[in-house]
Chain A
């Protein structure tokens, strides 16, 4: 049973395209996150949602638009992709009561050509 799953695992696309990444968790958590990990392995939070409500938005360009249709899903849509968007995007989830319970998905490797 996969706790936090992401699709697709790999995404190769041209500059200027629009793409979406999907995330689902079956842990019953109420908070979900999107992180970006650059080529140097630096992991930085982008967004968090609690019970479908946007809680954290870390000055991410508005080309990135998260959407949470329900507590178990958090999707990330990226418009007008740029070269600098190439990275690994991780979804994570946790219970609101503690960061110690944050579980990460396997990541989506995005390469913008």
Chain B
């Protein structure tokens, strides 16, 4: 079993839909949870960051972490064609110099106009 599992997709939704992206993980030491967005032929860019359990909202994006279920989600409201990209979840156990991110495989989202 991989440390981080992410729904493989791809996912195609109409403009304006609510999108739910999910990851599960097995390492209970993970405390820092991130979502990265990667446009085609570009590097990943940090979209959302959450520490421990809880919700975080930023505009149309909401990140949720449920450590008891080892489950994280990213919700996108009123999805736009510009949201079409690959979304990667990432996690870390600590923030020291030796910290590393463990990524999910990524899911490609397409928002149809």
Q: Which residues of A line the B interface, CB within 8 A? A: 4, 30-31, 33, 40-45, 48, 50, 55-56, 58, 90, 92, 96-107
Whether the pair A102, B46 counts as a contact (CB closer than 8 A) is yes
Q: Residue B97 contacts which of A50, A104, A105, A106 (CB distance < 8 angstroms)?
A: A50
The interface centre, meaning the residue of A40, A42, A56, A97 with most chain B CB atoms within 10 A of its CB, is: A42
Q: Residue A99 contacts which of B32, B41, B43, B45 (CB distance < 8 angstroms)?
A: B32
Whether the pair A100, B97 counts as a contact (CB closer than 8 A) is no
The size bracket of the interface on B is 20 to 34
Whether the pair B106, A99 counts as a contact (CB closer than 8 A) is no
Known interface pairs A42-B105, A100-B32; A90-B44 also in contact (CB < 8 Å): yes
A100-B34, A104-B36, A105-B43 given; name 16 further pairs at CB < 8 Å. A40-B105, A41-B86, A41-B106, A42-B106, A43-B44, A43-B106, A56-B98, A58-B100, A90-B43, A96-B95, A99-B32, A99-B34, A99-B92, A99-B99, A100-B49, A102-B101
